[in-house]
Amino acid sequence: MIISHTHKFIFIKTFKTAGTSIESTLSNYCSGNDIVTPINDYRHNRNEKGEFIHKAMNADEFIGLGLDNLQHVEALVIKDKVSPEVWNNYFKFSISRNPWDRAVSYFYWEKRQDPAIKPKKRFYHHIGVPFDEITLIKKQFYDFIKNSNWPSNDKFYTIGNELCVDYIIRYENLSGDFDFVCKKLGLPVDRLPRLKVGIRKNNYHYSEYYDEETKAIVGERHKNDIRLFGYEFERA
């Protein structure tokens, strides 16, 4: 999360939407009494050149709130914390992503240390037995969707189920929408670094992970995203 008094914007970071890349880039234009909440795992704060690029600052007042995750502060918490003048007049923006695609990304992130999502070929696969990797992973995904308390993102850009930010970057148009934000704020248009990548190494389309039940569960949990942004379940 960023509250920039220097450039008069509030960036509200969502889960699994390239938010760390955007936050890290924008943090480099913050100074003075701007607020940038610290990154949770500093191992992910390196660009392709190995440079540290995320700059946290002045986040003590949010640390003092005892929030579970400082990187992802809900819109209502921010609204209650800042003055009405800041909330009403600063440019507020966040990021959305197709919920079915995001659920797969979140699954891989949460299971990144689980060997079950990286099945290896057995000896019999090398003598002609088909290696059906997606079916093996899909079983893990089904259990994750059915039994895990994975979060939605709407609490970061809605209050009372209504949109409360001025602009939504679409993950599907990440570079173009981020360029628009930079121009709106009068900031240099930078190429976004690729942070927290490489977890999901295969190239399966997100639709291949779903059956009708898991598709419906994700749709229900993300009904605000579907209503507000018109997301649909797409086939490869």
Give 153's contacts (C-beta < 8 A, 6+ positions apart).
Answer: 14, 15, 17, 94, 96, 97, 102, 222, 225
For 94, the enclosing helix (H) or strand (E) is strand 91-96
Residue spans of the domains in the chain: they are 2-97+152-198
CA-based nearest residue to 47, from 200, 190, 192: 192
CA-based nearest residue to 156, from 4, 10, 5, 14: 14
Q: What angle do CA 141, 147, 153 make, to 5 degrees?
A: 80
Q: What is the DSSP string of 135-159?
A: HHHHHHHHHHHHH--PPPSGGGTEE
**What's the confidence (pLDDT) of residue 201?**
63
**What's the confidence (pLDDT) of residue 126?**
58
Q: Both tokens of residue 197?
A: 């990548």
**What's the confidence (pLDDT) of residue 202?**
74
**What's the confidence (pLDDT) of residue 127?**
62
**What's the confidence (pLDDT) of residue 40?**
65
**What's the confidence (pLDDT) of residue 97?**
96
CA-based nearest residue to 147, from 217, 207, 205: 217
**What's the confidence (pLDDT) of residue 100?**
97
Q: What angle do CA 140, 102, 205 make, to 5 degrees?
A: 70
User: Structure pTM?
Assistant: 0.88
Q: Both tokens of residue 4?
A: 């920039």
**What's the confidence (pLDDT) of residue 134?**
82
Write out the chain's pLDDT in tens, 236 residues.
999 999 999 999 999 998 988 998 999 999 999 999 988 665 555 555 656 678 889 998 888 787 777 889 999 999 999 999 999 999 999 999 999 999 999 999 888 878 777 766 665 555 655 656 788 889 999 999 999 988 899 999 999 999 999 999 999 999 999 999 999 999 998 888 766 555 566 788 999 999 999 999 999 999 999 999 999 999 97
